[in-house]
Structure 1
């Protein structure tokens, strides 16, 4: 009888621990994006649907992807019919918008597009507006220049777009740019370069003198009165993929001198978890914790098979984010506060 009681207690404790913890990876996938919707008290995940559409998932818990709805499918042909990459869902100006990169099947023709919800239903249909004016010149259309990974920056009651782009048509060097926005669907000025990759070898695909610069996936974190932009760099197909960090230290985000770059990577591979990058950041259900969502490679061999990982992070006394090191797969972690 005593053995049965003890066994029951052990099973109950094990079941309780399982309910209070989770393990990484959450699921297979790349370029994760998730946003907290306070109106529905849920998390909304946004992913490319086989590079030919966009799917949203809704869940009450950050550790679960939830119910899936394909909200947009690419046309069979045209400038945004293929290679739908890294969509992001944003609520701006009272409407839901999705920012994505799309092409006609040729990477060199990638441009940034915005989709707007046709109704108030975030899981409803979306219409394509764009492409965004990501070129040089006063109108940004002289001509349009390759652009991916567009995201929004709200700063001092003004709206800006951040993205990864080529410095000119026909090259494959990726830099980070910013431009002011007239609205959530239109830029109002030419792009401004805020992050190249000339300072530090760790930002390049290879750290030698011939390594190609590759900065992409800018993501905003605003807390404790400070604004940071994390970005992915090096080679997404190699274990060396990592995060760099910028901070706005001046008054005008359109002035390159207003940005300060960290001299060291903010988050990089370790022996057990590698190829980490293309992050986003969100708070726990009760707002007490910050969580870092990113992808990691499944293998050290070159390629793009990846999984989605999440882990908490903190800020030091000065308000500087401390992302720590990538967690090990299969290790139980406490669930986000409020789940």
Structure 2
């Protein structure tokens, strides 16, 4: 009986897909539009975004949705509108038999797992084109960045039965998963189980809810898409009821009432649907929740069809609206709003936001001075100046706004660069302040010559300019002072925008001639990449398995399809121009040939060669950089002073420290032969250490003060008492 029910549902699903036309999407990006700085937005968020999942983290929204193929694609932007105009990036692709197609219903979740805080994506995949083979899969991020790179962890359920729509639930200090599968009685039901880790269910796999009410059986009896909602100590699971091919696909809730969460008796089903079709939105189901940027609001992200007969197709789009709370503590989902209705953006979206953004770290290296743009402190209004490229404070995240511009955010302070007071005047100094969704903290990037680029402010139209030690904006003049080499700082991972797989050489070979290829990220040494300066703003690229060697076009050739191999540095073909786009992705141009680094035939398989090819301006030649290593600690913000004075007829050296940092600092002070002392200086406080010369006179000298990551020297004058 169960076999026949499953077969019937698959037939219904295929028919529903046919209604909507399961073909290539017209476009995964919404038309170009102002995506930042608005007080309202309209639904839908983005086209072709069924079964959406979303999180707001460290200054950005991250959204994933059904792709129908073997790619897991993510959108990232600081605003909801930006999610519609940003370019989706593949964070993982799978070519393994049995899990190489039909990606459905992802859930993105940050969990403190066995490897520390990591991001997990649980999604459904099966055999391409065969919807009866769907099973849940889990991938884990390499670090605390939702964009990955990701590594496959496994199937969380120890069964071969069809199972879909998995998500995580944290409750009573335990981790659970909830999902949908067919029960022994043939009904597609929600299930629940405990987990030993984010990719392994354990213990009984219990039915949580079944479609037995009339509002759950329209088209087909279905319970699916369970997702947790928690507020003020209460826990609900929302789920989708009835068949996705109908206009009455809708949300219901289960509230936890106490007891063992894996028992259905511990949950109470809502008396009816809590969110249903209205105002031209049909099939309003399969949702996720997110918290507003300032943490004060709960939002519902769901998908809906624009027509009643849209089916389970690619016409479904992600839409968002606020959840309010009734006096009795119950959630109020409201009714779906029309796509013509302006909705207020989530609270705090327009800023001010201070956040240490996830993403690769970059140095901005001046052509005219050879120094890097940097800030000296974390303080609001700290000036952008020229400084030491090795300083952690010289690291920035080049983060896309989602509509073709970048915000340049300091990796230490979490603050964005813009002209002081948002002035458009030439000569205005640049400073860091918390990000606000206004154009004065957004920049466009354009390549000039060699590996140099200009950075132009969106509001003022003026270019970032090095002028001695100060950095300012000025009218574009084509001078070297406006040219910058954008170079990754520290170790990065380079992944294909198409496959999500990392650049490496086979077996992490250290021999000359090893050919560049792609492979799923495994944290292998050869998947770590560093960049060093070369002439004309270009860079050389080194793998962590052979850091003394460079990746070069074989023989310095200018022909298409020539391999990129590991070998000597400083030769023809070993330098690369890094071209950063407003989408935050990177293209490589070889310094000798001018041709692009290219993923051969845009193939997704492990071992696919990455070679040189003519510039095609397509995604096969676009890459994403990510940082998986922790930034070196920034030197504390301290000021050191020294003086000499007389105490009871003896000369004394006094060393003083003022701590302007946000954390307590340990300071070691040394005054030559007069000895050493240790100080602990609280944030915002000052402290001193005295050294008695045990004589009535001392010569001028200096005191050395050492803090984690830096050493300071303070001079004191001669003294006779």
Q: TM-score, normalised by structure 2?
A: 0.41
SS state of the match for residue 275, structure 2? coil
1:204 to 205, 217, 236: 217
SS state of the match for residue 318, structure 2? strand
CA contact (8 A) 1:175 1:195 kept: yes
2:234 to 204, 218, 226: 226
SS state of the match for residue 202, structure 1? helix
Counterpart for residue 308 of structure 1: 318
CA contact (8 A) 1:205 1:234 kept: yes
Q: Which has the higher contact order (CA 8 A, sep 6+)?
A: 1
Q: Does 1:78 align with 2:97?
A: yes
Tell me the distance in 2 between the aligned counterparts of 1:111 and 1:36. Answer: 27
Report the alpha carbon displacement of residue 74 of structure 1 after superposing the two structures with TM: 2.0
Flag the 1:271–1:60 CA change in 2: closer, same or farther, 3 A. Answer: closer
Report the alpha carbon displacement of residue 107 of structure 1 after superposing the two structures with TM: 1.5
Q: Does 1:149 align with 2:165?
A: yes
Q: Does 1:109 align with 2:118?
A: no
2:189 to 167, 171, 175: 175
Report the alpha carbon displacement of residue 50 of structure 1 after superposing the two structures with TM: 4.3
Q: Does 1:213 align with 2:221?
A: yes
Tell me the distance in 2 between the aligned counterparts of 1:239 and 1:73. Answer: 32
Tell me the distance in 1 between the aligned counterparts of 2:141 and 2:41. Answer: 33
Q: Which has the greater radius of gyration? A: 2
Tell me the distance in 1 between the aligned counterparts of 2:297 and 2:291. Answer: 6
Tell me the distance in 2 between the aligned counterparts of 1:258 and 1:242. Answer: 23
- The Cα offsets for residues 1-50 of structure 1, whole Å up to 9 and x where unpaired, read as xxxxxxxxxxxxxx9xx92111111221211110121xx22211112344
Counterpart for residue 342 of structure 2: 332
Tell me the distance in 2 between the aligned counterparts of 1:120 and 1:313. Answer: 28
Counterpart for residue 269 of structure 2: 261
SS state of the match for residue 122, structure 2? strand
SS state of the match for residue 124, structure 1? coil
CA contact (8 A) 2:74 2:88 kept: yes
CA contact (8 A) 2:45 2:80 kept: no
Report the alpha carbon displacement of residue 125 of structure 1 after superposing the two structures with TM: 2.4
Q: Which moved further from structure 2: 150-159 or 272-281?
A: 272-281
Tell me the distance in 1 between the aligned counterparts of 2:186 and 2:97. Answer: 22
CA contact (8 A) 2:187 2:210 kept: no
CA contact (8 A) 1:56 1:69 kept: yes
CA contact (8 A) 1:280 1:292 kept: yes
Q: How does 1:281-292 map to 2 (within 5 A)?
A: 281-292=289-300
CA contact (8 A) 1:111 1:132 kept: no
Tell me the distance in 2 between the aligned counterparts of 1:125 and 1:48. Answer: 19
Counterpart for residue 294 of structure 1: 302
Q: Does 1:126 align with 2:150?
A: yes
SS state of the match for residue 283, structure 2? coil
Tell me the distance in 1 between the aligned counterparts of 2:254 and 2:281. Answer: 24
Tell me the distance in 2 between the aligned counterparts of 1:293 and 1:61. Answer: 14
SS state of the match for residue 231, structure 1? strand
SS state of the match for residue 45, structure 1? strand
1:43 to 28, 50, 61: 61
Tell me the distance in 2 between the aligned counterparts of 1:287 and 1:302. Answer: 35
Counterpart for residue 30 of structure 1: 50
Q: Which moved further from structure 2: 119-128 or 268-277?
A: 119-128
CA contact (8 A) 1:25 1:330 kept: no
Report the alpha carbon displacement of residue 203 of structure 1 after superposing the two structures with TM: 0.2
SS state of the match for residue 254, structure 1? coil
Counterpart for residue 257 of structure 2: 249
- The Cα offsets for residues 186-225 of structure 1, whole Å up to 9 and x where unpaired, read as 1121211010112x1110133xxxxx31111111110011
SS state of the match for residue 161, structure 2? coil
Q: Which moved further from structure 2: 246-255 or 118-127?
A: 118-127
CA contact (8 A) 1:242 1:275 kept: yes
Report the alpha carbon displacement of residue 172 of structure 1 after superposing the two structures with TM: 6.4
Flag the 1:182–1:258 CA change in 2: closer, same or farther, 3 A. Answer: same
Tell me the distance in 1 between the aligned counterparts of 2:59 and 2:45. Answer: 20
- The Cα offsets for residues 235-266 of structure 1, whole Å up to 9 and x where unpaired, read as 21111110011000022101211010011101
- The Cα offsets for residues 136-171 of structure 1, whole Å up to 9 and x where unpaired, read as xxxxx4x43211111000001100000011114xx9
Report the alpha carbon displacement of residue 232 of structure 1 after superposing the two structures with TM: 0.6
Q: TM-score, normalised by structure 1?
A: 0.85
Report the alpha carbon displacement of residue 271 of structure 1 after superposing the two structures with TM: 4.7
CA contact (8 A) 1:49 1:70 kept: no
Where structure 1 has 5 or more consecutive residues not aligned to the other structure, the ranges are: 1-14, 134-140, 207-211
Flag the 1:172–1:56 CA change in 2: closer, same or farther, 3 A. Answer: farther
Tell me the distance in 1 between the aligned counterparts of 2:267 and 2:284. Answer: 24
Q: Which moved further from structure 2: 101-110 or 114-123?
A: 114-123
Flag the 1:62–1:237 CA change in 2: closer, same or farther, 3 A. Answer: same
Tell me the distance in 2 between the aligned counterparts of 1:69 and 1:190. Answer: 37
